[in-house]
Structure formats: structure tokens, C-alpha cells
């Protein structure tokens, strides 16, 4: 199921060398004889300008969202830690009670 399936060697396509043209130079002939106006090239973006610009409102929303996310994740992690601590304390109390019950039976 996970092994690749290769075609048989006789059905594999062969390389067609008739489509390959030798390089005659660096000058390419025009594709057509009509005169097109060149498309304007957009001005390059300066290196010091950031690509994403935040408005003050967007910064406030991002800060509020980040704060809310940190608070929610922190609350979940603290509640999980508290649940583990309570479980460990209750298991320890049960172990002490069982130990005292077993010791009292052995002493009789």
C-alpha cells in the first residue's frame, strides 16, 4: 500500500530531442512585430520600511488579543496544576489512612 508504483520501463516516455534548440546568442527575437507600450514597473520598496503597517487601532486590538490569550492559557495551566496537586494530596491522605488501618490490624 505504501510502496511507490513505477511504470514499466517500456512505457516510460522518452526524451524528445527535436524540441531542443541550440543557443545562438543572448538577443531574443521579438515575439511579434507590433509595438507595445512597456508596462510600468512599480517602484521598489525601501529596505527600512516594514512590509506590514499597523494602525494604532490594530495595535490595540493585537495587544488586547495577546493579553487575553496569555490570561486564558495561564488560567488553564494553573487549573491543571491545581487539579494535579489536589489529586496528589488526596492519594497521599488515602495512603496514610490505609497504612494506619493495616498497622492496626497487625497489632491485634
Q: Tell me, yes or no, whether 107 lies in a domain.
A: yes
Does residue 102 lie in a domain region? Answer: yes
Residue 17 resides in a domain:
no
Please report whether residue 37 resides in a domain: no
Q: Is there a domain that residue 19 lies in? A: no
Digitized pLDDT (tens) for each residue of the chain, 108 residues in all: 688 887 777 765 666 666 666 666 556 666 667 776 777 777 776 666 556 778 889 999 999 999 999 999 999 999 999 999 999 999 999 999 999 999 988 776
* Domain region containing 92: 80-108
Q: Cα 50 vs. chain centroid, distance in angstroms? A: 22
Tally the domains of the chain. 1
- Quick check: is 35 in a domain? no
In a domain, 98, yes or no: yes
Q: Is 84 inside any structural domain?
A: yes
* pTM score over 0.85: no
Amino acid at each position: 500500500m505504501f510502496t511507490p508504483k513505477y511504470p514499466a520501463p517500456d512505457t516510460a516516455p522518452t526524451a524528445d530531442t527535436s524540441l531542443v534548440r541550440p543557443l545562438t546568442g543572448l538577443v531574443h527575437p521579438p515575439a511579434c512585430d507590433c509595438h507595445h507600450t512597456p508596462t510600468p514597473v512599480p517602484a521598489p520598496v525601501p529596505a527600512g520600511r516594514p512590509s506590514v503597517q499597523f494602525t494604532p487601532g490594530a495595535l490595540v486590538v493585537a495587544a488586547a488579543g495577546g493579553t487575553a490569550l496569555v490570561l486564558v492559557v495561564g488560567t488553564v495551566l494553573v487549573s491543571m496544576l491545581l487539579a494535579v496537586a489536589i489529586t496528589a494530596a488526596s492519594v497521599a491522605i488515602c495512603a496514610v489512612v490505609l497504612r494506619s488501618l493495616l498497622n492496626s490490624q497487625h497489632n491485634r
